[in-house]
Every structure is written in structure tokens, then in C-alpha cells.
Structure 1
């Protein structure tokens, strides 16, 4: 379904959500492999985009390869890496007080940052599944003292196979810190455009040639609006047609899945 007059054929670069778009849990979605093959065959480029900052890129490469997708680390962009690149562009070799997993710590060290609680230039909050009260307390002290506060993404819950199906994510931690300090963070990941700015710079592409393909209105499609790129919603994951009807967010296109998107790209 086309909602706005944006020509699919002009699109050359695709930011792809993963869970709900390419796979669902541990299963590859029907037509996903053929869609990715068509993008490659038609000289289009794509990058897998995720808000999860608890894992490094190699984890996602392994997951995709286990599903039969021949991905490499250059085709993965996490909100953690996007945050590191955002800070690096503004202040190379910065001193960072980081609330994050060992994977995220490794990411920041690889980008040349010093991880410390002594006179940091920034406090950075990732999806810290190793969060302790001591780290939280120190972060709040630093934020109250005026150290700039950055978060990798705003998701409140992270889907999981555990009990209720969700565990607290960065957004929940942000609310706790805000309640204590009264300070809001600068956020890099979806739905904010900074993560797409990083991708556009990496791929050297034009916004009018770039699309976000995903299954969530409030992250994937909202980010497309914020970044002024084409938003392509697939109904293979979280969002339904009813959600679209009731939403103020308007994707450019809606397809049942990436299989139908691939067919439309070939026919357009």
C-alpha cells in the first residue's frame, strides 16, 4: 500500500530493522532471504539497524548467519556504535563514564575513548544488563554536577523469552535517573535521526534515496519522519493495520512483509 508519492525505484539504500522484519525470534521470515538477495543483485545497499546496545555487531552477524543470511559486521549498526561515532565526531578521545555491558565497553574502547568516573566528558547510558546501584549512584552524581548525559536509545522494555516476555530497557533506566536528577538525556537511537545521520555518513548516500524498513511505528517509522527519509512499514512484526489507522505516524509505504516489498521494487 502506497500512502505518499515516493518512487520505490529511486531508493538505493535501506536501513533494515531485524526482529519482526527479517526474522521473528529464531525463525527467518518468509521471503526475507530473497528480498536481501534482490537488493544485492540490483546494486542496492543495506545495513541492519538495531536499538539494542547490549550486544556487539559480531553477535548479530552470528545470529543472521545462523538463519542463513550471509551478513558481515560492516552491515550492522547498533545504537551503541552510533552513540560512539556521534561522540567521536564531536569530541574524539573523550573520557566517558559508561553504564553498559562488557560488549558496549569494548565498543567504546575500540573507538578510542577512556572509560572512567574521574572527570568524564560524558555520562553514557546503554542497555546495561550489568547495572549496579553503585554505577547508578555515580552517574546521578555526575549528571547533577553538569556532565552531559547521552543515552543509546529510548526503548522502555526489551522483548525476551523470559517470563512476562519483557525486561527493563534503557527507557526505564532513563526515567529512574530523571526522577533522581531532573535531567533528560540526549538520545541517539531510533526514533531520533542521529542514528540515521551516522548511517548516511557511513554509506555516503542521499536522504531521498534512503529508506527505513521496519515493523514498529513509534521507533522505525517515527525515525523515518524525523530523519526525512522514506518510511516502509511491514506488518510481519509488531504493528497492525489497526495501529496504522489509529496512529499519527504515516509511513510512505505499507507491505505485509519484505517479500511483498521485494515484488514491488521489481515492478515499480
Structure 2
């Protein structure tokens, strides 16, 4: 199975290990991973800030950087959701409308692809400890992803996933929201981290690096005994470079 890898600019710049682990997991699932180094951004920052002309320009490049023939997989529900939903605003009734619809049908967030397309839920991962899973707004509300990450985490040896209060509440990142409303954003991060600590979690796991950056910043600032991990990093833990 050929898979084109979409690594969002956010992951490329701040979490390159997550990108590398996404490749490892996909290859272990039996996929041939294709990566176009010319890819950049999906256009979400400009789109969310109201600069739709600029977002359309970046989005057009995205559509040209990927093919219509293969699955496209990304370790980001946020960026996947942008392509699946935001592109309807940018490219409806345009010259590349049909190509856009094809790519929207091909793109998948990592966990959703592994469970629903590749039909793989076990990767030999091992991580000792107790964790909570954070439902990112994009995964849960835009991509309708809920059970897929949990099915994958259930198969990680030594890992106990426990529920926490306000499981589906936003972490407070929200892109520019964290900049424009920093006080509210920080309070939301505090609430999420404290809810995780209240159930004895050692890890907060999610499908979105942006949420994890938000939460990890609060954790570091307050020197708290918990850490964040991306789902791809969890699935690649305990089996080295095999």
C-alpha cells in the first residue's frame, strides 16, 4: 500500500522525531511511505486568522504537492481537518474543485488510517505507566475521531489508559487563541493538566502536537511530574529501529 506522508509545518519544525516515528509506524503497518520534500503548510494559520486569499494560495500548493492516486496520512488531526473541511470554503466551484475533492477523500489522520484503512492495531509498543488520552478539538469535532487512538493505545504493553474529568474539553491552544487570549488559554491548560494529575497520570497522549506543546509548556513552567507524548511516539516506543 502506497502512502504519501504529510508532515505539517508545525511538526516539521518542532517535533521532527514524531515525523520520523510516523514513518516507522506506517512501514511496520506494511505501507510504502512516499515523502515529497517540497511540501510546506496546509494554510490553516492564515485561514483561521481570516486571510483566506493567502490560505488559498498555500492550499493550492498543498493540492499540487500531493497526488490523487494514493492515501495521504498525517500525524495531525488539526491539519487533516483543515484539508477535509476548510478547503470546502477555499476551493468550492474553482478550477481545482475536483482535485480538491479527490485529495479530501484520500487524506487521513494517522490513528484513523491505521484502524480503519490499514486494519492494524498492534505494533509491539511498550510503555510502562498510567496515561490519559486528550481528545483534541480537531480530532473529535472536525475528523470525528474518538475510538481509533484508544484502540491503538489499548494494545501498548504496560500502558494503562484512565479516564479523566472533562475529557473532551479544549486544552486552550486554538492557534492564535493562545496568543490573543493568553490568560484564558493558560487557565484551560492548567485545568487539563490538573485533571490528568488528579487521576495519577504520568503521561498525556494526543494526536495533535499543537495541544501537546500547549500542555507541555504549562507542565515545564510549573515543574509538574507529568509529560506529554504524541500517539506516533507512543506506538514507536519499545521496539527501537525494527
Q: For the superposition of Structure 1 and Structure 2, which TM-score range results when normalised by the shorter chain?
A: 0.3 to 0.5
- Kindly indicate which of the two structures has a greater share of residues assigned to strand: 1
Larger Rg: 1
Alignment TM-score, normalising by the size of structure 1? 0.35
Alignment TM-score, normalising by the size of structure 2? 0.37
